[in-house]
Amino acid sequence: MVEMKSTLAANALNLKFETEWIAKNIVKVSLNIDYSTKFRSNLMALGVSLPSNLHRAVQSRQCEFMAGRACVQMAMCLLEASNVELPQIGAHREPLWPEGYYGSISHSATCAVAIVATDEKGYFGIDRQEWLPHEIARSISPNVLCAKEYAFSTLFSNYAEFITTVFSAKESLFKAMFPSIKIYVDFFVVQLCFVDWPQGRLIFEVTQDLSCAFYKGKKVEVFFRRFVDDVETRIIDCL
């Protein structure tokens, strides 16, 4: 349950959340992950609990999950939510948002992040992905890229950066699409067609009809931001 005192409690527990207001009713919150027992205890003290299926999970998985939910809780607090339940977990492990709220959650090995919106119907996706080693980037690229997308690799500083960024961007897109299409899809249902480095923007084209919202030929924007350890991508497609 989200309580208005979350900000004060987080400060008292030395949990350093970072916030970014994307619009007056859309906020992004991130938190660096510490895999210690104290970090997990502090998140519990903040009111974040584990679902039953994670009670026996390794501590690292528990910390990652709880950090993501803590970001959601802080975002809801900033949006002045009161007595609102945190998202439950759906049949496909997707977050089930309470009525009137929309968003997306992710984490890398070092950071958890969430976007939460209220009174703003639309499609939201966020992903945080640590930089892939070159050998892994090359091994997964045939499953991530179609032939035409490889041409954009020259716009990036190295091949691993290119694959990691596009992989993460497509993950963000899939999260945004899922509430509308209700199925898992492969990486070829969207195709990179433009890179705008100054704005940190990628444009993808949907390659097949998936739903009324995501139809063949639709262009969607994904914004990316690079960090030392990882990359963050996000899509906000408001209706």
List the binding residues: 61, 69, 106-107, 127, 171, 175
Contact 25, 119 (CB under 8 A): yes
Q: Give the integer Cα–Cα distance in Å for 101 and 219.
A: 25
Partner residues linked to 20 by β-bridges:
28
Listed residue (73, 12, 62, 71) closest to 37, CA to CA: 62
Q: Give the integer Cα–Cα distance in Å for 166 and 183.
A: 21
Q: Give the integer Cα–Cα distance in Å for 44 and 30.
A: 17
Binding residues for CoA: 61, 69, 106-107, 127, 171, 175
Q: Give the integer Cα–Cα distance in Å for 116 and 103.
A: 4
* HSE, side-chain direction, 13 A CA sphere, residue 107: 22
Binding residues for Mg(2+): 127
Provide the Cα torsion 96, 98, 101, 103; round to 10°: -20
Other beta carbons less than 10 A from residue 212's beta carbon:
8
